[in-house]
Amino acid sequence: MDIGAINAGAEIIACVENDPDAAETLRLNNISGHESSVIEDDIRNVDFTDWRDGSDKILIGGPPCQPFSKNGYWVKNDNRLIDEDPRNMLGQFLRAVNELQPNGFLFENVESIRHPTNLPTFERFVSEARGLGYSCTVFRANSADFGVPQKRKRVFVFGVKGAIHAIPEPHQTHSDPSKPDLMNGFDPYVGVGTFIKKFAAEKYSEPQEDASSGTYYHELVHVPAGKNYIALSKLNNYDGRTFRPGGRFWNFLQKLHPDLPSITIAAQPGPWVGPFHWDNRRLRVPEIAAIQTFPDGYKFAGNRRSIQKQIGNAVPCLLGEKMVAHLIENL
């Protein structure tokens, strides 16, 4: 969202980042023009009154999403309770708003923060933000609706200080061409091909991309582009394993199609979780970064696992730009 904010015309004056590799990534790319603006610390240790003055400010952030993730529904211990999960930083976001007193804020999280299990916590968050004097708009976004080559659903909350009415929801710019009745003059979804084909050259190859010796490589080869494991049971003259529909996660053996948006780029994918390249290999770092609409040449610190996590946890830069621009336009 920092990249998106800059592209929307904002100036970054401070970034709070607790992960050492992610903080180093921000410094490597000189995200704000001065390294001292990257505060590598737990947000609970940061006093936001340090930036509280008369100038116009906005606060943007995405508190850790793990407590609200669909994967969390499988956890069966006491920490599954959202209010008891130590990763739940919603209260810290509200504290930052209260201390900074920005003109507006933009909050981001996973779509499943509105799941019935999580909804009371989320609604309390919105209610408390309103109690701090902010009119709030809750918006469920699909990245593909805004020109990102990825179907990635997220929830945003726009907060505007002292507004009489909540601001309108952002207007989408793209739509699914397979549903012509819903196009309404929008541009068609953007396929990944134009974003990642330039990274097909050998110089971009990585050892981790080779899946040929893996358990399900034969099955992967036979999955058509744009499909997942379910397609195997519908193939003619296919001699490999098939799987019961619904018996695997939907992204199992999911393969990209160059003319279609990607599925969500995951932060910590399993070994056979897609998206895979249509050339039957795992994606390369510049490819997953491009699908998240990072600028060409953006540098990432850390090992391969850490880089995947940073990219997968990010808001697509283009989506961030559209959301921050919408907030600024409505202050």
- Interval 146-198: pLDDT, tens: 999 999 999 999 999 999 999 999 999 999 999 999 898 999 999 999 999 99
Do the Cβ atoms of 17 and 35 come closer than 8 Å? Answer: no
Per-residue pLDDT tens for 234-274? Answer: 999 999 999 999 999 999 999 999 999 999 999 999 999 99
User: Which parts of the chain register pLDDT below 50?
Assistant: 70-85
The conformation of residue 155, written as its DSSP 8-state character, comes to E
C-alpha span between 118 and 66 (Å, rounded): 12
Active-site residue 317, yes or no?
no
pLDDT of res. 137: 98
Question: Three-state SS for 120?
Answer: helix
CATH topology of domain 2-188+313-329: Rossmann fold (3.40.50)
pLDDT of res. 76: 39
Q: Where in the chain is CATH 3.40.50.150?
A: 2-188+313-329
Question: Three-state SS for 88?
Answer: coil
Q: For residue 252, give every residue at least 6 positions away whose Cβ sits within 8 Å of its Cβ, in sequence order, or none.
A: 228, 229, 243, 272, 273, 274
Do the Cβ atoms of 218 and 240 come closer than 8 Å? Answer: yes
pLDDT of res. 31: 81
Q: Which amino acid type is present at position 45?
A: N
Alpha helices in the chain (DSSP H): 2-7, 20-28, 90-100, 119-131, 193-196, 217-222, 285-291, 304-313, 317-329
Catalytic residue among 15, 65, 136, 317: 65
pLDDT of res. 54: 80
